[in-house]
Amino acid sequence: MASDFDRIRKQVRQFVVEREWDQFHSPKNLSMALIVEAAEMVEHFQWLTEEQSGDLSAEKLAEVELELADIQIYLISLAEKLKLDIVAAVEKKLALNAEKYPADQVRGSSRKYTEYKQS
């Protein structure tokens, strides 16, 4: 049975194919489109306090939801072009992160690996 993520992956792919947009979708271009969408997310939060950013109005949240989708859509397109499996990539990275940031050493600290490792 196809998973929900498989389903949206296929929908994203179909959307691009139907519009013949594949010709514009080099990984280079897709990385640019991705960061542009990420910036639209940042824009929503740039003048808010951290607290306000966690307490959005329903209207604002609906806008943010669509930005979230845009980022996911370009991330899927980029993965497709590079023939990478996002789910497998995340599991691989989480395993690496677990080694780099052992829970009992980094608990409650945002210092980066390189920083706490040296101390």
Q: Which of residues 49-88 bind its own copies (CB under 8 A)?
A: 49-51, 53-54, 56, 61, 64-66, 68-73, 75-76, 78-79, 81-82, 84, 86-87
Cβ atoms of residues 79 and 86 within 8 Å: yes
Quick check: 13 binds its own copies (CB under 8 A)?
A: no
Least distance between its own copies and beta carbon 117 (Å): 15
Q: Is the four-CA dihedral 42, 11, 86, 79 of positive or negative sign?
A: negative
Per CB under 8 A, the list member of 27, 100, 116, 117 interacting with its own copies is 27
CA distances in angstroms from 60 to 28, 71, 89, listed in the order given: 31, 17, 31
**φ/ψ (deg, to 5) at 56:** -80, 150
Q: What minimum distance in Å lies between the beta carbon of 51 and its own copies?
A: 7
Question: Is residue 116 near its own copies by the rule CB under 8 A?
Answer: no
